[in-house]
Amino acid sequence: TEGMDIDELAYQLAVGESEILRFLSVRGAMLDNVQTLDKDLVKMVCMEYEVEVLESDPVRVEEMAKKNEFLDVEDLDKLVARPPIVTIMGHVDHGKTTLLDYIRKSKVVASEAGGITQGIGAYQVLVPVDGNPQACVFLDTPGHEAFGAMRARGAKVTDICIIVVAADDGVRPQTNEAIAHAKAAGVPIIIAINKVDKEGANPERVMQELSQIGLMPEMWGGDTPMIQISALKGENVDELLETVMLVAELQELKANPDRNAKGTVIEACLDKAKGPLATLVVQNGTLNKGDILVCGEAFGKIRAMYDDRGSLVDQAGPSNAVQIIGLNNVPLAGDEFESVDDLDVARERANTRADAMRIERINAKAGEGKVTLSSIA
Ligand code: GTP
Ligand code: MG
């Protein structure tokens, strides 16, 4: 029953999608508008390219892939715990930035040695769990569009979603949208009922509204944690973070730090002095300065790597976010990256990817309305 998207297979085999389609159609496979190949077809294609399909313990692999689609079969015996990656979403003005700022100030800036925080769109904080500080990574998603685009490309970056709902305003259109995004991605939701310090705040009403759209508060016997906070005053934010870590623990998030890095681009831009800049979240393996990357349609060697405080770092392990320079081009938010052995391989893979994307765009145009975006497992 397990299959694979054609574009993914093309990417993995470093061949064009059209080549795969041609190969299959020659063998009589009916593939009109089909985007996903079943296991047998995948095997058939892989045999042609003399690539072995690994298939040990499908149940375990499937379970693992649900939690981290960047894991491979070879990682199974080397998994260690990784920090959760958390996204804050919600309606305009409901307090997302205020909450993130508070978390960063109370948990990050205090330990900063007079440095100015450089925004890379991701922040690592330490949350005490039973007295032990544990890492947690927050992503500052640049608006819903980017999140939607990332999701549509099948990128699953977030482990947990905090949805902020202002207690004086209630559930609004973007609240619904955020909930829909989180649900579609299969990411657990934690509700932060914010601005409880404000006059006119009515947390009960918010819980009522949420329960009507299928999110039943834990305190009413449901399974959605809802924490009443004031992001402005920092009230109950610790409790919110504790809940995040609790939910994370249940997810048993894991990765294999001892392999080449794989992950997702969360932000990228062109800097006049430094060239293309990309913020990457490592989702498996460890990224090193000097690594050679394929990054969507871009590639290059990492010349320098900065952490969330703008400090130069040499390494970034699972769940870490770093900004890198050294790519030949600006990748897109949501692009996947992987470190590879040499620059020629990287260039070839990036070019193959560019071709595949071009064909995909043409196909999408041709079959407007019929094409579905690559599925999220
Ligand atoms: P967008 O990024 O525009 O979608 O907004 P946002 O969700 O990031 O909201 P932001 O944090 O910018 O907060 C909007 C306004 O609400 C600001 O004036 C905040 O000071 C205020 N605010 C946020 N949290 C609280 C709170 O807990 N209590 C009160 N009283 N005001 C708050
Ligand atoms: Mg904001």
Mind listing the pLDDT tens digit of every residue in the chain (377 residues)?
467 888 888 888 888 888 888 888 887 776 666 678 887 888 888 888 877 776 555 566 566 666 677 888 788 888 899 999 998 888 889 998 889 889 987 655 444 433 334 455 788 888 888 888 899 999 866 554 555 665 555 457 889 999 999 999 999 998 998 898 888 888 999 999 999 999 999 999 999 999 999 999 999 999 999 999 999 999 999 999 999 999 999 998 999 999 999 999 988 999 999 999 999 999 999 999 999 999 999 999 999 999 988 899 999 999 999 999 999 999 988 889 999 999 999 999 999 999 988 888 888 777 665 444 443 33
11 forms beta bridges with: none
Question: SS3 sequence, 263-307?
Answer: EEEEEEEEECCCEEEEEEEEEECEEECCCEEEECCEEEEEEEEEC
Ligand 1 centroid – CA 308 distance (Å)? 23
Pocket lining: 309 vs ligand 1, CB cutoff 6 Å: no
Residues 6+ apart with CB under 8 A from 338: 260, 261, 262, 293, 294
Pocket lining: 193 vs ligand 1, CB cutoff 6 Å: no
Give the ipTM.
0.99
Tokens of 194: 């914010």
Ligand 1 centroid – CA 320 distance (Å)? 27
Ligand 2 centroid – CA 103 distance (Å)? 14
Nearest-angstrom CA–CA distance, 307 and 218: 36
Question: What number does the ligand 1 atom closest to the CA of 101 have?
Answer: 11
Pocket lining: 175 vs ligand 1, CB cutoff 6 Å: no
Cα 352 versus chain centre, distance: 23
pLDDT given for residue 371 in this prediction:
42
- The total number of residues shown for the chain amounts to 377
Q: For residues 89 and 143, is the Cβ–Cβ distance under 8 A?
A: no
Q: Which ligand is nearest to the Cα of residue 92, counting in written order?
A: 1
pLDDT given for residue 57 in this prediction:
57
From the number of C-beta atoms within 10 Å of its C-beta (0-12, 13-18, 19+), residue 197 rates as: middle
What pTM was computed for the model? Answer: 0.76
> Is 91 among the catalytic positions?
no
